[in-house]
Amino acid sequence: MAGRSNGSSERTPKQRPISIVLTIVVPTIIKKKMKAASSKRSKTSAAGAPRRGFDSLQQEAFLNLWRTYDRMRAFEDDLFSSHGLTAQQYNALRLLRAEHPATLPTLVVAARLVSRAPDITRLLDKLQERGLVKRERPAGNRRVVEVGITTAGLELLEKLAGQVRECHQRQMGHLSHAQLRELIALLEAARRPHEDPSGAFCPEVRTD
């Protein structure tokens, strides 16, 4: 009897550590895995959800774009208004200078503007009144009105050149070149499906 008791006493300590491992370690591992999975789901949900106050990520992005444009526009509005111009009129002059001494049909000017002009005729009327552009109807096609920039228009652009560069520096100078390139790429990607192929925005000069 004593032998059986000793044998039983010797086997018991060898079995208990296994039970302890199964009872403590395995549930701990399961809890860690569940916590990691929950954390991963939370991060995925957060990445695909808008911040509080917005209906969607698309809305949040658009309203941020709108807000940014409103803040940036104030700089150029101040600059161009001091010279009796609007941003669209300045844009039209730049387009015409790029073609000088050649001219452009009125509708082509309208299509190439950065932002749509609801009344391109009125826009050009204002510039012509100041002697900054000239218009004529070709003898071969009287239905088309060709527009060209005048010497006065060229001189005004030359006068504005430095001020416009300073304006853009004030608007975007706090961003690095890498950030600006990334921003340009994102804006082009966002706009691409909505561009009119006949009037796609193409800057005159693009430098690195």
* Window from 25-34, 77-86, 102-111, 190-199 with minimum mean pLDDT: 25-34
| Confidence (pLDDT) at 90 | 97
Give the confidence band of 34 by pLDDT, cuts at 50, 70, 90.
Answer: low
Q: Which long-range contacts (CB under 8 A, 24 or more apart) does 196-203 make?
A: 196/111, 198/111, 199/110, 199/111, 199/112, 201/112, 201/114, 202/112
pLDDT at 207 over 50: no
| Confidence (pLDDT) at 199 | 59
Q: Could you report how far apart the first and last alpha carbons of the chain are, in Å?
A: 95
**CA–CA dist 168, 159 (Å, integer):** 16
What CATH number does the domain located at 59-191 have?
1.10.10.10
Strand ranges across the sheet with 133-136: 104-105, 146-149, 133-136
Using an 8 Å Cβ cutoff, are 113 and 92 in contact? yes
Q: What is the mean pLDDT of residues 112-124?
A: 92
Where in the chain are the domains? 1-34, 59-191
Tokens of 131: 């002697």
What global pTM score does this model have? 0.71
Half-sphere exposure of 110 (CA within 13 A, CB side): 13
The length of the chain, given as a count of residues: 208
Give the confidence band of 29 by pLDDT, cuts at 50, 70, 90.
Answer: low
**CA–CA dist 86, 36 (Å, integer):** 56
| Confidence (pLDDT) at 171 | 97
pLDDT at 7 over 70: no
| Confidence (pLDDT) at 204 | 47
Q: What stretches of 31-142 adopt beta strand conformation (E)?
A: 104-105, 133-136
Using an 8 Å Cβ cutoff, are 153 and 132 in contact? yes
Q: What is the mean pLDDT of residues 54-83?
A: 95
Q: What is the pLDDT of residues 160-196, one digit of tens each?
A: 999 999 999 999 999 999 999 999 999 999 999 998 7
